[in-house]
Chains A and B, each alone.
Chain A
């Protein structure tokens, strides 16, 4: 009899014991880096689904220590009558000698590449379930011999892809640049889930367009910033991925090695449709009537004669799906945190790869990299650098069925009939904008993700922000024959002006800043700020999200009015409000905060302020009592230039990854003629001992 630690296996009589056991297991899990411990076996990753087709799927998981792996699955939860035995499951672990290149002996039928850099003792299992029925739901569970590690519950199930060419409706999620592991990533994920639940229409799979494990794509970062976050979805939906530049720090596209390639099982031999690429870095697969193509825009040759481009052509020649969707990391068109007119990967994807995709009939291109949401009009042939909208726009409407109407294309795949480009790099990393690409129709500088529905002849996509609010909608309808027509004078978005201006008078720079100090938050950086309202008490905490619906705005420091030294003028403040709240984020790679030996704030201010670091008050100047709306006894102080305040005593509050510096600025009187708050944060790190260049 198999036994599994799950809710349904605990009897009412044994509830107290089970509760205590649960507490014990949870404490163990907490101590062992969120590992789930069953008996003596620690499940450290998964199980999660990979490389699904209409007849097969891969289930992947990791344990700490060796097990005898078995997968059981079946059409109903109470009858997992199919078995994949240990001898058919690929087993991978680290090799002690030359771990990147030696093959490890597999307990099963073959040998496998060792894991690149997993924690010591980690064993990864990859089970391929074959002979499945198309478009069918199965439940599954994984075991160590007879001990159930996960499953035997209604959370662990999967649905096989529909038969190739089937026109059954489906929905998938697209997210990019999410791998921060912070509250923004969690909020985007939650926003998507709430939207899906509200619509009562589940996802069928999801695409990640890269940068899922900041900052370097290490095995630990994959665990913390991808698997730990998305596990509730990964156990029942397949995630198809494209490698981002941050994964590229540790993984190699050409060789298929590194934590990225350990984490994902991608097609090499057309296991899910398309043509064999012989590489997991780029591949294709079919889902129903859509052909998906994933490219490696980061570290493989993008030239037209390169192997990837030649495979792409061959793949496009063969596919006969109704729709064609390509996804990769570097966007051909963007003016978000990156500029597609200046950076060579982006330029090459536009100039060299887009002509191949468009002559092959691509309908939709999904990318990330640039931390923003941008969505184009229906365009074709926009290969120039710099990008121009002249002669390349086939429909300059908004594509919204409720607005200008859906974009129209002919039935089937046809060359150069127009593509919609979506940059979905707003999945978690800090969003920003530097301009407007001329081909874009929607630009949203908010965190969010994209949900795509394919229903027969209509493909629709929405961008849902972290508050679960739909911020964009477009559709492409393929019906009849549509003649290609270039819009002579397309309606373009207005040019974007960076909302920064120089103050009328530049304040004097601070005296006393330590030698070798470097900025953690730079002068004139963009901040979140709130004026006219008081935030909740936890507004200084890292996990607080300054929402626009709560009145939070973004602006460049310094803030104020009346004395000509302000970049973001708060004219509405005078006579009405005496306090402004500001927040900014800075980050450290894991452990880098321990290198900080000095910390300080340079600030030009009028009249007083209170500083918080990660929720801790660390400095108070000119505010004798209280905080926020309860602050009292403000002492008058004129802004005459930057002054430096040491925060060395606050170094212990610094932490890995995200840190929040929050400052509330106070004016002595409502009627005061001026107000200033213009801060930046500096730090000194331990000397490395290397020679200065």
Chain B
């Protein structure tokens, strides 16, 4: 649970990829710019606009190229111009909404996204709903965010949306609804991410709600964790989960052994140059858990 709260901002970034994905792919090229780097494409598009006039699509395409070069100000300027040029050009609208969301400018983000929620295309409607859910979540309107994602998922199942909805349901303290949603998502999509989240939610809800931690309460999640441990080459994340279950059941030494094994594996996988953030996060989590166990012991 804490893990996901700590990663909420990253979740937002994940969610925004929906917009990016749609936006990037829905544009069409009009001139031959196939075989050069972004600088050449920008030059070509600028020349095209100078010679033949501008339109939302050209501005949008140039914005994407500016972004690929890390030029955020020109990226946003072209997006803004594209939306002004053609308010119905949804790729630019979605992308600009994403910009505003990142800047915590919720009013403008909502203004940009709201017209798309009524789009004829179901897919576009689903993407707009998911984006609106992110805006709602940023304003802690969990119920609205959950409702939007539920509608989006009815239109189209998506791993990311299932995960987001579970997160928002947890924020709204609807733990069992989150678990039910994840079970449903896993049954439909078989995604290992949904299984992991389901396990985390099952562990979290027992930790929060159970008055006494009976092994029976953890039976389902323990069987999943054990199976994953048996099948995995890299085991640390599952060892940490098992340690949390064991610790909740008062099996302090067994939990400690799991954490020590996890820490050893994570240290081996921690690059000197720049570790994978997940490895670093798991390592910190394991060390923190180990410390609390030692304190209890």
Residues on A facing B (Cβ under 8 Å): 98, 100-101, 214-216, 246, 248-255, 257-258, 269-270, 275-279, 298-301, 303-307, 309-311, 313-320, 337-339, 342-345, 347, 351, 355-356, 358-360, 371, 380-384, 391-392, 413, 415-416, 429-430, 434, 516, 518, 587-589, 592, 685, 687-693
Contacts A306-B14, A692-B53: A317 and B35 contacting too (C-beta < 8 A)? no
A347–B55 CA distance with the chains assembled, in angstroms = 30
A339–B24 CA distance with the chains assembled, in angstroms = 20
* Contact in complex: A416, B51 (CB < 8 Å): no
A293–B82 CA distance with the chains assembled, in angstroms = 37
* Contact in complex: B233, A248 (CB < 8 Å): no
* Contact in complex: A248, B25 (CB < 8 Å): yes
Residues on B facing A (Cβ under 8 Å): 7, 10-11, 13-14, 16-18, 20-22, 24-38, 47, 49-55, 67-70, 120-123, 156, 158-160, 163, 189-193, 196, 231-235, 237, 268-279
* Contact in complex: A343, B269 (CB < 8 Å): no
A305 contact set on B, CB distance < 8 A: 7, 10-11, 13-14, 277
* Contact in complex: B22, A254 (CB < 8 Å): yes
CB distance from B12 to the nearest CB of A (A): 9
* Contact in complex: A337, B193 (CB < 8 Å): no
CB distance from B272 to the nearest CB of A (A): 6
A415–B270 CA distance with the chains assembled, in angstroms = 9
Partner among A255, A257, A270, A592 whose Cβ is within 8 Å of the Cβ of B31: A592
Selected A-B contacts with CB under 8 Å, 7 pairs: A257-B123, A279-B159, A316-B234, A355-B277, A381-B271, A690-B53, A693-B50
- Residue of A215, A384, A391 with highest tally of chain B CB at under 10 A: A215
B268 contact set on A, CB distance < 8 A: 415
A315 contact set on B, CB distance < 8 A: 192
A311 contact set on B, CB distance < 8 A: 191-193
Which residue of the partner chain B has the closest CB to A592? Answer: B32
B163 contact set on A, CB distance < 8 A: 307
* Contact in complex: B191, A355 (CB < 8 Å): no
* Contact in complex: B233, A255 (CB < 8 Å): no
A171–B275 CA distance with the chains assembled, in angstroms = 33
A609–B269 CA distance with the chains assembled, in angstroms = 64
CB distance from B243 to the nearest CB of A (A): 17
* Contact in complex: B29, A589 (CB < 8 Å): yes
B37 contact set on A, CB distance < 8 A: 337-339, 342-343, 434
Partner among B17, B24, B25, B30 whose Cβ is within 8 Å of the Cβ of A306: B17
Partner among A338, A345, A371, A516 whose Cβ is within 8 Å of the Cβ of B51: A516
Contacts beyond the supplied A216-B29, A306-B17, A311-B193: 16 A-B pairs with Cβ under 8 Å: A100-B123, A215-B33, A252-B21, A257-B123, A301-B16, A305-B13, A307-B193, A311-B191, A313-B278, A344-B68, A355-B279, A359-B269, A429-B34, A587-B34, A592-B32, A692-B49
* Contact in complex: A304, B10 (CB < 8 Å): yes
- Residue of B26, B52, B69, B163 with highest tally of chain A CB at under 10 A: B52
* Contact in complex: B20, A301 (CB < 8 Å): yes
A306 contact set on B, CB distance < 8 A: 13-14, 17
* Contact in complex: B271, A249 (CB < 8 Å): no
B13 contact set on A, CB distance < 8 A: 301, 303, 305-306
* Contact in complex: A344, B25 (CB < 8 Å): no
* Contact in complex: B273, A383 (CB < 8 Å): yes
A339–B70 CA distance with the chains assembled, in angstroms = 13
A420–B72 CA distance with the chains assembled, in angstroms = 33
* Contact in complex: B193, A255 (CB < 8 Å): no
CB distance from B23 to the nearest CB of A (A): 9
A371 contact set on B, CB distance < 8 A: 35
A318–B122 CA distance with the chains assembled, in angstroms = 36
A690–B86 CA distance with the chains assembled, in angstroms = 13
* Contact in complex: B271, A278 (CB < 8 Å): no
Contacts A250-B25, A298-B24, A685-B52: A314 and B190 contacting too (C-beta < 8 A)? no
* Contact in complex: B14, A344 (CB < 8 Å): no
A359–B273 CA distance with the chains assembled, in angstroms = 11
* Contact in complex: B52, A687 (CB < 8 Å): yes
* Contact in complex: A381, B272 (CB < 8 Å): yes
A290–B192 CA distance with the chains assembled, in angstroms = 21
* Contact in complex: B53, A693 (CB < 8 Å): yes
- Residue of A306, A592, A691 with highest tally of chain B CB at under 10 A: A306
Contacts A252-B22, A316-B234, A693-B49: A300 and B34 contacting too (C-beta < 8 A)? no
Contacts A391-B273, A690-B54: A303 and B14 contacting too (C-beta < 8 A)? yes
Which residue of the partner chain B has the closest CB to A519? Answer: B47
CB distance from A378 to the nearest CB of B (A): 15
Contacts A337-B35, A690-B53: A310 and B193 contacting too (C-beta < 8 A)? yes
Q: Enumerate the 3 nearest inter-chain pairs by beta-carbon distance, A residue then B residue, closest first.
A: A690-B53, A301-B17, A381-B273
CB distance from B41 to the nearest CB of A (A): 10
Partner among A101, A303, A359, A587 whose Cβ is within 8 Å of the Cβ of B123: A101
* Contact in complex: B190, A278 (CB < 8 Å): yes
Which residue of the partner chain A has the closest CB to B36? Answer: A337
A371–B271 CA distance with the chains assembled, in angstroms = 31
CB distance from A484 to the nearest CB of B (A): 10
B14 contact set on A, CB distance < 8 A: 301, 303, 305-307
A416–B268 CA distance with the chains assembled, in angstroms = 9
* Contact in complex: B26, A252 (CB < 8 Å): yes
Which residue of the partner chain B has the closest CB to A246? Answer: B34
Contacts A214-B34, A693-B50: A276 and B192 contacting too (C-beta < 8 A)? yes
Which residue of the partner chain A has the closest CB to B235? Answer: A317
A391 contact set on B, CB distance < 8 A: 272-273
Partner among B25, B33, B278 whose Cβ is within 8 Å of the Cβ of A253: B25
* Contact in complex: B121, A589 (CB < 8 Å): no
Contacts A214-B34, A249-B29, A351-B274: A691 and B193 contacting too (C-beta < 8 A)? no
A476–B160 CA distance with the chains assembled, in angstroms = 37
B278 contact set on A, CB distance < 8 A: 304, 309-310, 313, 356
* Contact in complex: B68, A345 (CB < 8 Å): yes
CB distance from A615 to the nearest CB of B (A): 21
CB distance from B35 to the nearest CB of A (A): 5
* Contact in complex: A589, B269 (CB < 8 Å): no
B279 contact set on A, CB distance < 8 A: 355, 359
B36 contact set on A, CB distance < 8 A: 337
* Contact in complex: A254, B271 (CB < 8 Å): no
A429–B37 CA distance with the chains assembled, in angstroms = 13
Contacts A253-B25, A685-B52: A318 and B232 contacting too (C-beta < 8 A)? yes
Which residue of the partner chain B has the closest CB to A585? Answer: B35
* Contact in complex: A276, B34 (CB < 8 Å): no
* Contact in complex: B54, A278 (CB < 8 Å): no
Which residue of the partner chain B has the closest CB to A318? Answer: B232
Contacts A304-B10, A429-B35: A254 and B17 contacting too (C-beta < 8 A)? yes
A588 contact set on B, CB distance < 8 A: 32
CB distance from A216 to the nearest CB of B (A): 5
A307 contact set on B, CB distance < 8 A: 14, 17, 159-160, 163, 193
* Contact in complex: A413, B233 (CB < 8 Å): yes
A215 contact set on B, CB distance < 8 A: 29, 32-34
A649–B35 CA distance with the chains assembled, in angstroms = 28
Which residue of the partner chain A has the closest CB to B10? Answer: A305
* Contact in complex: B271, A355 (CB < 8 Å): yes
Which residue of the partner chain B has the closest CB to A301? Answer: B17
* Contact in complex: B55, A690 (CB < 8 Å): yes
CB distance from A625 to the nearest CB of B (A): 37
